[in-house]
A = this chain, B = another copy of it.
């Protein structure tokens, strides 16, 4: 079968063997925002056409491809949800070349009743569940997801806007004017530590400028200090300070999260980002 994690700005296609192993993997820049109206079949053919010609007859899609801006809109499925509920809610996609289905996103509500949503991450979580993972999972990203896995299902989750806030502050706020390219593990760690101080995030953000103006933070350290500050705030809000954290992300994102979690004393269990392929395969089997 073919599994595709099709997001806003990129896609990743997997060709999976009957044993669930990844036989081939392709990364593309054809995120859904780059696809013209009615253009999804053509893009899919361009990316995996040779696999289809080679006999693949089953395609499973997950991610923002199921959003209003995607190929077919799949309504959000409420939590708790496990493989059975998600499998029963797969949506058929009109594609002549293969039997094609789409994984719905999930909806949850936090203690305050405020709704939260994911699209794509639910399939990663199914991959972790297939591996027997239970407990607290962190999926870092533009919009980081912290999910609770229990009894073989996704019980609920919460999103933190960390990556996007970092990007817009560096590109468009006064903090970006103080930042030069460069990286500094020391500055990142200072940011993580600062997140635990009194004053709140809005004050800590301005402190980045105070440190820069006083020559106590170099321009090449600013971006990493800001990352540590924001990731530190995210972790302190999402983690209870005791539980082990399952972390699944590509290496560039996993590294700072693992470093911050270790600094704060968390036991971290690392998982491969391709766990999404396991989730797609499991749904394909069911």
Contacts and interface: CB of A to CB of B under 8 A. Distances in A.
Contacts of A234: 200, 202-203
A207 B116 contact: yes
A117 B174 contact: no
Nearest to A196: B112
Contacts of A168: 168-169, 172-173
A123 interface: no
A148 to B, nearest CB: 14
Given A110-B207, A160-B202, A200-B201, 17 more contacts: A107-B214, A110-B198, A112-B194, A112-B199, A115-B216, A116-B206, A116-B210, A160-B203, A161-B173, A161-B202, A162-B202, A164-B173, A165-B169, A165-B202, A168-B169, A199-B237, A202-B234
A56 interface: no
A171 interface: yes
The SS class assigned to the A binding surface is helix
Interface in A62-118: 107, 110-112, 114-117
Nearest to A144: B202
Interface of A: 107, 110-112, 114-117, 143, 158-162, 164-165, 168-169, 171-174, 194, 197-207, 209-211, 213-214, 216, 230, 233-234, 236-238
Contacts of A165: 169, 173, 202, 205
A203 B237 contact: yes
Contacts of A173: 161, 164-165, 168
Given A165-B173, A171-B172, A173-B164, A117 B200 contact: no
A158 to B, nearest CB: 5
B172 A214 contact: no
Contacts of A210: 114-117, 159
A230 B203 CA distance: 11
A206 B163 CA distance: 11
